[in-house]
Amino acid sequence: MTTDTTRQEDPMSTVTPSRAPHHDAPTAHRHPEGRLGAGLFDPGQLARSLPDALRKLDPRVMIKSPVMFVVLVGSVVTTVLAVRDPGDWFGWTITAWLWLTVVFANLAEAVAEGRGKAQADTLRRAKTDTVARRLAGETEERVPGTGLRVGDLVVCEAGDIIPGDGDVVEGVASVDESAITGESAPVIRESGGDRSAVTGGTKVLSDRVVIRITTKPGETFIDRMINLVEGAARQKTPNEIALNILLASLTIVFLLAVVTLKPFAIYAGADGQTSMIVLTALLVCLIPTTIGALLSAIGIAGMDRLVQRNVLAMSGRAVEAAGDVSTLLLDKTGTITLGNRQASEFVPVRGVTAAEVADAAQLSSLADETPEGRSVVVLAKEAYGLRERHQGELAGAEWIAFTAQTRMSGVDVDGRRIRKGAAGSVVAWVRERGGTVAEDADTVASRISEAGGTPLLVAVHDDRGARVLGVIHLKDVVKDGMRERFAELRRMGIKTIMITGDNPLTAKAIADEAGVDDFLAEATPEDKMALIKREQAGGKLVAMTGDGTNDAPALAQADVGVAMNTGTSAAKEAGNMVDLDSNPTKLIEIVEIGKQLLITRGALTTFSIANDVAKYFAIIPAMFAVAYPSLDKLNIMGLASPESAILSAVVFNALIIIALVPLALRGVRYRPMSADRMLRRNLGIYGLGGLIAPFLGIKLIDVLISSLIPGL
C-alpha cells in the first residue's frame, strides 16, 4: 500500500508547501463552533438551536425516543388538568417544568446538530453549479454539471472547477482541495496509481486532465459530507437501538408500577396525595429521562468529534465499531515510519576508508533527486566535511539515472565510473568488469538488513579496476512517540499488526523498534484479506487504513476501514471512513474517539439509572407519609412537605439534563486502562455520583422553594 502522508505540491505553485502532519498535531480544518461543549451556554448558540428544539416537539419526531415521548404525553396530560383547575398553582408549576424537561432534551440534540449544520453551510458555499466540458468522441460539449452520468469523460484545465467526483484517466494537474480539507497547499492528481481520485467542487490550478465521472449528481462527496455533518444521514447504531429498547422496557416497568400506586393509595386512604399530576410527576422522575434526553446528542457529538479531526464516518456503526476494535492493521510506511529512508552511515569494506565511501556515494547521488539520494549528499557533507557539489561543477560528467531495470544510479567522471544501488545489481556490475567483491561486503549488507535498514552498495571502476568500496546504510526512521502510543493501545487491550512489503528481516527489526505486537511482511492484497478474516474468525473487530484500489477488498472486509482522501475512488467507496488529511496515523485517534463515545454513553446511562434511586426516596415517602407515618423515616433528606418534595424532584430532573449536555457533547475523557479498571472507575464516579447528586440537588432546591413560598 502506498500511503501519501505529505501533500504533493505543484512546483509551479506559489503556495507554501505544507508539511506532513504529526499524529498529535491539530489539523488545519477546524469545526466552526470550536471546542465541544464550550458553546452550550453561548447565547448565540442557544438562540440558533431553540427554534429547532421547539420544532422537535412534534409527536412524530418525539416518538423516536420512547422515554421522552412518555414525558411529552405526561406534559400534555398535566396541561389539560391544570387548565381544568386554573387556580392550582402546584399543577401549573409541575406542568411548566415537565415542558421544560422536554424542551431541554430537544435542546441538547439541537445544539449537537447545530454544530454540524454550521459546517454544512460552509460546505454548501464550496458547492457550485458548474458547466462541464464533456467529451463526445473527439469533440467537446458543454453540459450542466448536474447532467453528468457515471462513466462520462470530462476535460478540466487550469481555473476550472471539477464538476463531479471521478478518477483522472489522462494527464496530471495541481488541484486546490481547500474547500474539502481546509488545507491550503495544492495536491497533485494524476492518472494511474493511488492518487487519481478527484472531488467535485475542487479547483484545477494547472495543466489539463481528463476525468471519468464515478458518481451520480447529488451523490458526490460534498453532498455526502453535507448530509453526514448536519445529521440528515445519521442512523441509529445497533448499540443505540439496543439501549433504546432497554430504556423503553424500563419505562414500561415504571409505568405499570405507577399505575398500581393509585389503587394502593385509595386502599390506604392517601388518595389525596396521589392525584394524576403527582403520579405523572413520579413517572417522569422514575423513568430514565436523563439518558433518554442525551442519547441522541451523544451519538451526534461522537460523529462531530471525528469531523473536527477531518474524518468523515459514513455511518455511526463505524464509530461504535472503532470503540470495540481489538486489532489494528497499520501500514509501516508513513504510519509507523516517516516514509522516506534516510542515509545514516557509510560502512567501508576492508582496506577502504569511510571518507572514500562518502566521497563516492556523494558523487553518485548528485543526480538522485529522491529523498534517499538527497540524504546521502547531506550525510557526506555533515559527517565527513565534504562540500556539497552540484552537477554543473563537474564538466563532462555523464550522469546515470536510476531505473527499475538496472536498480543503480551513478556518474562517469574524471576517468572513474561510480555506481550506487541494490546489492545484487552492483555486485553483478563489478563482476561484469572483472572486478572483485570484498568478502565482508555481503556480511555488512546482511547486518544492515537484519537491523531493519536498507543496504546500498557503492562501487567504482578506475585504473585500479572495478571493486566495491562500501555500503550505505539507509534507515527507515520510526516516528517519535510511536512506541509509547503502541504501549497505550496494548493497555487498552488492542493488538497492533504492522503491514509492510519489506522482507521479514527488515520487517522484524522495524516492528521491534516501534513496539508493535506482530507484523505481516511481503504483504499482498490477498495476504491482508486473509489476515483480517483470521482475526474476525476469532471474534475480534479489525480496523485498517488504505488508499489504493488493491486495498479496497481489505477495507471493505475490515470492521473499520479508513480510506485516505488522496486515494482512489474504489478505496473511498470500500471504506466506511475517509480521512481528509490522508494521515494514516489518525487511525489511532479514531479508535480513541470510538471508545470515548461508548464510555460516555455507558457513564451517563449509569448516572441516569442511579439518579432514579435518589428520586424514589424523595417522592414515595412524600406521597404516603400521611397514611403511613412510619414511611417518614425514608424521608432521609428531611424535605419540607410532600408538595415541596415532588416539585423539587421534578425541577432537579429537568435541570440535570441541561447540566449534563456539555459532558454529553464533549465526551467523558478516555484513559487507556483495562476494562475491569475502567468499569470500577465509572461506577465509582458516575454510579456513586448519580446517587449522591440528587440527594444534594433536591435538598438544595427544597430549601430554596421553602424559603420562597412560606408555609409550603
pLDDT of 336 strictly over 50: yes
551 labelled binding-site residue? yes
- Summarize pLDDT for 289-322 with one digit per residue, the tens: 999 999 888 887 887 788 778 888 777 778 888 8
- Summarize pLDDT for 518-540 with one digit per residue, the tens: 999 888 888 888 999 999 998 88
Instruction: Residue 476: name the closest of 507, 446, 498, 445 by CA.
Output: 507
Has 331 been annotated as catalytic?
yes
332 labelled binding-site residue? no
pLDDT of 264 strictly over 80: no
Q: Three-state DSSP class for 690?
A: helix
Q: How far apart are CA 516 and CA 496, in angstroms?
A: 5
- Summarize pLDDT for 135-155 with one digit per residue, the tens: 887 788 888 887 888 889 999
Pairing of strands 577-579, 311-313: antiparallel
372 labelled binding-site residue? yes
pLDDT of 637 strictly over 90: no
Q: How far apart are CA 357 and CA 348, in angstroms?
A: 6
Per mean pLDDT, which range of 226-240, 422-436, 641-655 is the poorest? 226-240
pLDDT of 271 strictly over 70: no
pLDDT of 233 strictly over 80: no
Q: How far apart are CA 334 and CA 331, in angstroms?
A: 7
Q: How far apart are CA 299 and CA 437, in angstroms?
A: 65
128 labelled binding-site residue? no
- Summarize pLDDT for 46-103 with one digit per residue, the tens: 777 888 889 999 998 899 888 999 999 999 999 999 999 888 888 999 999 999 999 9
What is the pLDDT, as a whole number, of residue 641? 80
Catalytic option among 10, 152, 167, 331: 331
Instruction: Residue 39: name the closest of 310, 359, 268, 304 by CA.
Output: 304
What separation in angstroms does the CA of 64 have from each of 72, 314, 580, 597?
Answer: 12, 22, 33, 21
Q: How far apart are CA 615 and CA 74, in angstroms?
A: 18
Q: How far apart are CA 391 and CA 347, in angstroms?
A: 25
93 labelled binding-site residue? no
User: Would you tell me how many other CB atoms lie within 10 Å of the CB of residue 511?
Assistant: 26
403 labelled binding-site residue? yes
pLDDT top residue among 200 and 536:
536
What separation in angstroms does the CA of 645 have from each of 93, 254, 712?
Answer: 13, 19, 10
What is the pLDDT, as a whole number, of residue 20? 34
**Res. 604 pLDDT band, cuts 50 70 90:** very high
Rg (C-alpha) for the chain, rounded Å, is 33
pLDDT top residue among 273 and 547:
547
What is the pLDDT, as a whole number, of residue 650? 92
* Contacts of residue 584, Cβ cutoff 8 Å, sequence gap at least 6: 3, 5, 330, 331, 334, 335, 545, 562, 564
Mean pLDDT of 210-236: 71
What is the separation, in whole angstroms, between the first and last Cα of the chain?
73
What separation in angstroms does the CA of 279 have from each of 70, 249, 254?
Answer: 13, 19, 11
Q: How far apart are CA 190 and CA 168, in angstroms?
A: 6
> What is the pTM (predicted TM-score) of this model?
0.66
- Summarize pLDDT for 382-426 with one digit per residue, the tens: 887 776 565 555 667 888 877 767 788 889 988 889 999 888 889
475 beta partners: 342, 453
H, E, C per residue of 352-383: CCHHHHHHHHHHHHCCCCCHHHHHHHHHHHHH
What is the pLDDT, as a whole number, of residue 8? 38
- Give me the residue label for grid cell 509509547: 484
- Give me the residue label for grid cell 435518589: 614
Rounded (10°) angle between helices 89-126 and 289-308:
20
536 beta partners: none
What is the pLDDT, as a whole number, of residue 391? 53
What is the pLDDT, as a whole number, of residue 461? 92
Q: 651-686 burial, b for 16+ CB within 10 Å, e for fewer?
A: bbbbbbbbebbbbbbbbbebebeeeeebeeebeeeb
Query: Which grid cell is 526?
Result: 490477498
Query: Which grid cell is 129?
Result: 453549479
Per mean pLDDT, which range of 55-69, 168-182, 514-528, 650-664 is the poorest? 168-182
User: Would you tell me how many other CB atoms lie within 10 Å of the CB of residue 440?
Assistant: 17
pLDDT of 164 strictly over 70: yes
Contact 56, 300 (CB under 8 A): no
pLDDT of 40 strictly over 70: no
Contact 357, 426 (CB under 8 A): no
**Res. 42 pLDDT band, cuts 50 70 90:** low
What is the pLDDT, as a whole number, of residue 32? 37
Task: State the amino acid at position 314 in one-letter form.
Answer: M
Instruction: Residue 581: name the closest of 182, 295, 205, 158 by CA.
Output: 182
404 labelled binding-site residue? yes
42 labelled binding-site residue? no
Whole-number average pLDDT of the chain: 80
CA dihedral 4, 10, 11, 16 (to 10 degrees): -80
Contact 525, 553 (CB under 8 A): yes
pLDDT top residue among 255 and 20:
255
Angle formed at CA 347 by CA 341 and CA 350, multiple of 5 degrees: 155
85 labelled binding-site residue? no
- Give me the residue label for grid cell 473487530: 541
433 labelled binding-site residue? no
Instruction: Residue 526: name the closest of 552, 560, 559, 492 by CA.
Output: 552
190 beta partners: 172
402 labelled binding-site residue? yes
